Structure formats: structure tokens, C-alpha cells
Structure 1
Amino acid sequence: MSRLLIIGCGGVAQVAITKCCQNSEVFTEICIASRTVSKCEALKEKLEKNTTTKITTAKVDADNVDELVALIESYKPEAVLNLALPYQDLTIMDACLKTKVNYIDTANYEPEDTEDPEWKAIYEKRCKEAGFSAYFDYSWQWAYQDRFKEANILGLLGTGFDPGVTSVFTAYAKKHYFDTIESVDILDCNGGDHGYPFATNFNPEINLREVSAPGSYWEDGHWVEIPAMSIKREYDFPEVGMKDMYLLHHEEIESLAKNYPEIKRIRFFMTFGQSYLTHMKCLENVGMLRTDPVNFNGVDIVPIQFLKELLPDPATLGPRTVGKTNIGCIFKGKKDGKDKTIYIYNVCDHQECYKEVGSQAISYTTGVPAMIGAMMVVTGKWNGTGVFNVEEFDPDPYMEALNKWGLPWVVDENPAIVE
């Protein structure tokens, strides 16, 4: 039925690829492409015995537009699913523009070198205009809107869990539960334990940069920025228990504020244990989270990239991680003139995810929605020309697919609220 080019072969990509192979009726052919083609070949060998999906592999540098264009032109996919690093979003979008092929990703663009003078000048201008200073925002990709329209292609941004599923939860809540939504609290709880004193559940470089950045939230039509990790709340998560959580900046706040202007406040919270916070603060204090090159014995190294090499590979955490995640949204608003509050969430078990796909729940909760977003595009259930966030489409087929493909959701109509 469809041919999908998947760029990337990390932890999230491996889950998404496995799910595509489970969904052979839709994904009849896939090509796995990465700079390290041996990883693609190993995954192909593992999966092809148990799927009717035809799998091919290719070597590509996702930073090189010409290489990407050559691969797209030779494979001729219906869509490109970008599961590479956020640094590479724009080069892959450029390649899709040149070849007029639909584009899908799970997270918005981030620049790799945040100390580059040219980027810093643009960044400072964007900060002033937008009202917040996160390293990552949607403005870079929203700028492709007119060009994607002219090319008659669709760009689907952010079909991970957060952003992604949490944004679809918002569209679903508005469609089925509320006349108006007044506030959204997005809660991301990882109750898993991997046994290490310190490790990150996805790419350490991306994870540590996001967590150490200033926090921000949307309130009454403007951004409120706060020092990193300065707002803490406790919440009793269903099936996980009481956890400390901290307010962070997150990109779906930006798109939800744009697409639901009636929402007065949108916040994002993520849980962290004390060991994680202590290690991170120490690393930040000694300069290990710096993104600019440092000369060491005549060699330029980027401290955060060097740190990444020292930390456990997130792909190795699966067999040793136990516990559950709980990710969802608390919505407050009105229905038929009455106040209403609901919590829509998913609970995922790390060990169950590992048994099914060989990955822990963090990769699973992003990889499954990546497959579902690609399915929405290639089947035409979501269509259009231009660049879109997931909440701009009908949420029902996506929500149905979440239940079918491993991320069942719950609607709690009497939840605890976050002050």
C-alpha cells in the first residue's frame, strides 16, 4: 500500500520500524537509512523473518541535502519519516521540498552549535520576539509553510508523545469533552528505575540541554519565563505513585497556544529524582553541559558531546529498567456552562515494552506515535498542503490507533489538579 523512507536507527527509530513491520498492511515497503548502515542491516535481519513488509537499507548523511535528495529520488517513497536528531530536521525538510515528498518528524528543530555567532544573533532576535529563550522552538519549521504549500506536500511536525500524543489528547478533549478549555497541564512521569546513579532515557546531549534551559509557560496571552527547575510540584500518578515534578519549557506549549487561543494557561511538568538533579547540577557547574568547543591537548572537543560518550547508551537501558511511565494532560474548562476537569493519560510498563520490541518505555512511547503519524499521512486520513502540528487534524483516528498499537489511554473525570 505504501513505501516509507525512515531516516535514523536509534532507540526511537527501532521501535517505530518494528511497529511499521507489525503494520504490514499499511507499510508494505520501508527503507531504513542511517550514517551507520550496519545498524540498519542488523535491524533488518532481526525483523524480516516475522513480517511481510519488504525492508531495504541505505547509508545516508542526514546533514547532507544532496545525499538525502539522491536517496529519496532513488527510493521514491510516499513519505519520509525523520527519526534522526533534531539538529537535522531542516536538512531533511529541504530534501523533501526538492523532491516534493511528504515529511514527518517527532520533535522540533534544535541547532547543534548554540555558541555559533550567526545562530546566536538569530536566537537573540527570536527570544525577543517570542518572549522565551529556549534553544528549540517551532519558528524554524513553521517558516516552511508557504514552500510546502507551493510544493503541494504535507509536513507533519511532532508526532512523538510530548509533543505528539499530548497534543492529540488536547484536540480530543476539545472535540468530545469541552466547549472551551481554560488550562492544560502536561505531565510527563517516568517512574522507571535503571539502577545507574545517573543516565538519561534518550539522547543525553538533547536531554541535558533541554532540562538545563530556562523554564517557561503560557499564561494570559504571553510567555512567563523562570529559572531552570525553579517551580516544583508533587503529584500522585495513577499506577506510579507520588513523584516530584518540575516545570520545563516544551515545544507543544507553543503550538497549542497558537492553535487554541482560548486557553489561558499551558504548562509542562516532568518528573526527576534527586540523584538525577544532583548529578546534572554538578555537571553544569563544572562546564560539562557546554555546547561550545574547548581545546584539550590541541584537540577541540564539545564538553556535552564528550559527556554523551561517557554516559550509558539509552539503547542499553531496556533490559535493566523496571517500573512504569504515566504521561498525559489535565484539562480544565467548561461544558454546557459547567466547570469540568479531566485527565487523559497513558501508562506504559518498561518491562512489557522491552519484551515486545527490545526497548524501554521512553523509546516506546515516542516510536509508536511516530509510526501512527506516518500511517495517518500515507493512508490519507490526515492530509493537506503546508506544515501542520498534530492537533490541527481530526484526533479520532489517531486516538483509535493508540489503543490498537500499544498505547491505550484512560480518561479520568475526577483527577487531582496541579496548583
Structure 2
Amino acid sequence: MRLLILGAGGVGSAVVKIAARRPFFEHVLLADYDLGRAQRAAAATGDPRLAAARLDASDEAAISRLLTEHRIDAVLGATDPRFTMPIFRAALAAGAHYLDMAMSLSRPHPQDPFSQTGVKLGDEQFAMAADWERAGRLALVGMGVEPGLSDVLARYASDHLFSEIDYLGVRDGANLEVLDEAGQPMFAPTFSIWTTIEECLNPPVIYQAGRGWYTTEPFSEPEVFDFPEGIGPVECVNVEHEEVLLMPRWLKAGRVDFKYGLGAEFIGVLRTLHQLGLDSVVPVRVGQAMVSPRDVVAAVLPDPAQLGDRMRGKTCAGVWVRGRGLDGRPRSSYLYHVVDNDWSMAEYGCQAVLWQTAVNPVVALELIAGGVWSGAGVLGPEAFDAVPFLDLLAGDYQSPWGIREL
């Protein structure tokens, strides 16, 4: 397989490190608007199959040209979701398969944002599904960890654990800490703050059978969820996320939601950013320059990719499934995947959150390259058999998943 990775930030650089260990790649091109960043990430692997290029992810025509010039089989978007659609359209034009970890952006309902959906996450991509089907190419959307692995786990539960599902609740939590130079905990997001602001301050979407998709207030319905493997209780709140838009398309469930363990401090920071207008992506004039407030926030915070050696703890992604088991009796199970930062740093030199996100598209690409996963159109992870994915993740990739009965 010949792969283009667009974006050499934390996740893109982690994808490169994982891909360098997999023999099914013939050629991997890492492209970024910052050529030096892409070159450093590619060179760090020491793998001659990897190369770097400069590319603006907003330039659809340039992406198509690069895909054609390098005879790319598949493109992976590892940028923030502002650039999802240019990459998506360019891949279709060039006849390449497509994967992303963040779907096309939503736009809140103009009159009733906290009750009704407007443009939903992924709507722009699903509107082009017929074009992908006619082209005979696969657009695998939402194939990170959340969305991504959580969706695979939900498909596994539907196929192998439950005869009827009342509830699919994605739960994301961690006990990760970032330490300052004095060894004291400090505020530093472990994932892209641009994306985090987008998903946390938009109206969260919930799916209810018979009602469909609807929205609620940000940070609503707080609950304490007890995460496994020593992470423990974490308060989780409703957040906008792709799983809620993906799972009901392929899986039958009474309700689907996503709750994120943000913590009181992080919620307070996000609310303050919103009150000050610093979450806005609309450029404002500062002296002679026009700058987006959100881009400024991202620029002044530490780069998540550089925090690994100052982090400690574990991160957990999973889905809480309630309904009736195969025996017809009530069942409540949490299917999950945990990554310890000490392990991911020692094994890959990547901090846990970025590695956990990056490994899943690589596993999916291996299944696509081997013909185990195949299809045409715009499809989510739920559209595929979960067993080969989970077996490969726990086996060759040495990253097991688990089930806790609740």
C-alpha cells in the first residue's frame, strides 16, 4: 500500500512511528504545511519507505496532484477537522481510498441550537456517499480511537454479546497528569486544543430511537463513571462527538450518547475561553495581522506531542452497552481499551493519547490492504466485522482490549 498522511502534528507523527513497523506499506508520504516538521517526523523512523512533502491541506487541487504524482492508494487525514472536506474531495477526485479521525464539521441550528440539530458532524461527507460508491472507492470516516475503536467495540458487542441493545454510551476518561519543571501538575491539554474546543463547546448530540438526533446544552447530564485498570471514578459530561452520528446508521440501539471525562478545571477553562470569545475561529485584526482567536490559544499552549516525558497515568476509551445478552437476560458491559503513558513512551516514544488515536487507522489500513475490510461509499467502522480488527490490535500491535461487567 502507498499511503499519504496529511498532517505531521502529534497524531500524524505517531501514525508514522507505528506505520514504520508494519511491512504492508510500500511507501508512506507525510505531508504538512511545515515541511521541516514533516521531514523530522519521517527521518526519525530511519525507514527509507517514508518521505516528506510540503502541502497546504486547504488546497484541494494540490492534494489531488500529490496523490496522483505519488500513485497513492489511500490518504489519511491527520489534520484538524477544518481540512476534512478538502482532503475528502481530493481523494475522491484522485481515485484514492480515504480515512479520517475527525469528520466534517457541524453547524448548530440557527434558532434552537440546544434542542435541534443543524448541520451534523459528517453530513457533508455522507451527502457524497453515492459519488464514492460510483467511483468504487472507500471513505472510512471516524477511524481514530473515539470515533473509531469505540465504534468497533460497539459492533463487536452487537454481534457477539447482546441480542438487544437499549443503550450505547461512549465513555472517555483518564487519570493523566502533565507535570511542570518542579514536578507539580499543570494545565496542558493532551490532545489538540483546537479540536477539543470544537467538540466541547458545540451543542452535544444525542440519539434516541423514535426521536432521532437532538441536541442539549454543553457539559450537560454529568455523571461519575468508574474507569478500569486503576483509573477510577471520573466525572463525565455530554460532548458533541462522531460516534453518536455513526453508530445508529449501522447498529440498532435505543439511545446513543458520548460523555467525556474532562474534569472541573478543564470545563472551567473552556467556559472562560467561550465567555472571552477566544473559542472563535473568525479572524480578528491585531495590529496589522488578522488572526483567529482559537489559533492563538492553540499557539500559546504546549504542543501535546512534546508532553509525553512529562506525563503520567493512563487513558481509557470505550463503550458502555446495556440491553439483553445472548441468553435473553439483562446485561451491562463496558468494552474498553487502556493505554499507559509509560508503555507508549517506552515502546514508541509517543504519549498515550496520541498513540491510542494513531494506532487504529493503521490497523484499519492493514485490514484494507489485505482485503479483510473492503467496500465502497462513505462507511463508518461499524460497517465492518470487528473481530479481525480487535484480534490484530491485541495481537501484532500488542495493545489488548477488555470487557468489564457492570
User: TM-score, with normalisation over the residues of structure 1?
Assistant: 0.89
Instruction: Give the aligned partner of residue 213 of structure 1.
Output: 202
CA apart distance, 1:127: 8.1
How many angstroms apart in 2 are the aligned matches of 1:327 and 1:124?
29
Instruction: Give the aligned partner of residue 273 of structure 1.
Output: 263
Q: Which moved more, 1:244-253 or 1:284-293?
A: 284-293
CA apart distance, 1:197: 3.6
1:61-72 counterparts in 2 under 5 A? Answer: 61-72=56-67
Matched length: 396
CA apart distance, 1:62: 1.4
Q: Which moved more, 1:365-374 or 1:293-302?
A: 293-302
CA contact (8 A) 1:197 1:275 kept: no
Q: Does 1:355 align with 2:346?
A: yes
CA contact (8 A) 1:78 1:378 kept: no
CA apart distance, 1:136: 5.5
Instruction: Give the aligned partner of residue 33 of structure 1.
Output: 31
Instruction: Sort the Cα spacing of 1:147 and 1:125 in 2 relative to 1 into closer, same or farther, 3 A.
Output: farther
Instruction: Sort the Cα spacing of 1:225 and 1:177 in 2 relative to 1 into closer, same or farther, 3 A.
Output: same
Q: Which moved more, 1:351-360 or 1:216-225?
A: 216-225
CA contact (8 A) 1:368 1:406 kept: no
Instruction: Give the aligned partner of residue 327 of structure 2.
Output: 336
Q: Give the 3-state SS of the residue equivalent to 2:2 in structure 1.
A: strand
CA apart distance, 1:124: 4.2
Instruction: Give the aligned partner of residue 177 of structure 2.
Output: 193
How many angstroms apart in 2 are the aligned matches of 1:125 and 1:214?
12
Instruction: Give the aligned partner of residue 57 of structure 1.
Output: 52
Instruction: Give the aligned partner of residue 104 of structure 1.
Output: 99
Q: Give 2:249's match in structure 1, choosing from 250, 255, 258.
A: 258
Instruction: Give the aligned partner of residue 384 of structure 1.
Output: 375
Instruction: Give the aligned partner of residue 117 of structure 1.
Output: none
| Amino acid corresponding to residue 136 of structure 2 in structure 1 | N
Cα offsets for 1:190-246 (capped at 9, x unmatched): 210003542222221111121122223112332342211122111221120111111
Q: Give the 3-state SS of the residue equivalent to 1:376 in structure 2.
A: helix
1:10-409 counterparts in 2 under 5 A? Answer: 10-24=9-23, 26-48=24-46, 51=47, 54-110=49-105, 124=109, 131-133=116-118, 137-195=121-179, 197-221=186-210, 222-238=212-228, 239-260=230-251, 262-334=252-324, 335-404=326-395, 405-409=397-401
Which has more helix, going by share of residues?
1
Q: Give the 3-state SS of the residue equivalent to 1:268 in structure 2.
A: strand
CA apart distance, 1:71: 0.8
| Amino acid corresponding to residue 45 of structure 2 in structure 1 | L
How many angstroms apart in 2 are the aligned matches of 1:401 and 1:126?
46
Q: Give the 3-state SS of the residue equivalent to 2:198 in structure 1.
A: helix
How many angstroms apart in 1 are the aligned matches of 2:205 and 2:109?
16
Instruction: Give the aligned partner of residue 402 of structure 2.
Output: 410
CA apart distance, 1:11: 0.8
Cα offsets for 1:232-280 (capped at 9, x unmatched): 11122112011111121211111112222x3111121111222222222
CA apart distance, 1:183: 0.6
Instruction: Sort the Cα spacing of 1:342 and 1:126 in 2 relative to 1 into closer, same or farther, 3 A.
Output: farther
Instruction: Sort the Cα spacing of 1:177 and 1:83 in 2 relative to 1 into closer, same or farther, 3 A.
Output: same
Instruction: Sort the Cα spacing of 1:299 and 1:148 in 2 relative to 1 into closer, same or farther, 3 A.
Output: same
CA contact (8 A) 1:80 1:102 kept: yes
Q: Give the 3-state SS of the residue equivalent to 2:178 in structure 1.
A: coil
How many angstroms apart in 2 are the aligned matches of 1:299 and 1:35?
20
Q: Give the 3-state SS of the residue equivalent to 1:331 in structure 2.
A: strand
CA contact (8 A) 1:198 1:279 kept: no
CA contact (8 A) 2:285 2:291 kept: yes
Cα offsets for 1:152-195 (capped at 9, x unmatched): 11111111011000000011111111122111111100210003
CA RMSD of aligned residues (A): 2.0
Cα offsets for 1:103-136 (capped at 9, x unmatched): 111110127xxxxxxxx7xx648989x9325x76
How many angstroms apart in 1 are the aligned matches of 2:240 and 2:37?
33
Where in structure 1 are there 5+ consecutive unaligned residues? 112-119
CA apart distance, 1:299: 3.3
Q: Give the 3-state SS of the residue equivalent to 1:4 in structure 2.
A: strand
CA apart distance, 1:332: 1.1
CA contact (8 A) 2:75 2:99 kept: yes
Instruction: Give the aligned partner of residue 182 of structure 2.
Output: none
| Amino acid corresponding to residue 47 of structure 1 in structure 2 | T
How many angstroms apart in 2 are the aligned matches of 1:168 and 1:198?
32
CA apart distance, 1:139: 0.7
| Amino acid corresponding to residue 17 of structure 1 in structure 2 | V
How many angstroms apart in 2 are the aligned matches of 1:224 and 1:265?
11
CA apart distance, 1:365: 0.9
How many angstroms apart in 1 are the aligned matches of 2:41 and 2:283?
34
Q: Which moved more, 1:245-254 or 1:195-204?
A: 195-204
How many angstroms apart in 2 are the aligned matches of 1:270 and 1:388?
24
Instruction: Give the aligned partner of residue 5 of structure 1.
Output: 4
How many angstroms apart in 1 are the aligned matches of 2:120 and 2:291?
23
Q: Give the 3-state SS of the residue equivalent to 2:173 in structure 1.
A: strand
How many angstroms apart in 2 are the aligned matches of 1:37 and 1:136?
33
Report sequence identity in percent: 25
| Amino acid corresponding to residue 132 of structure 1 in structure 2 | T
CA contact (8 A) 1:345 1:409 kept: yes
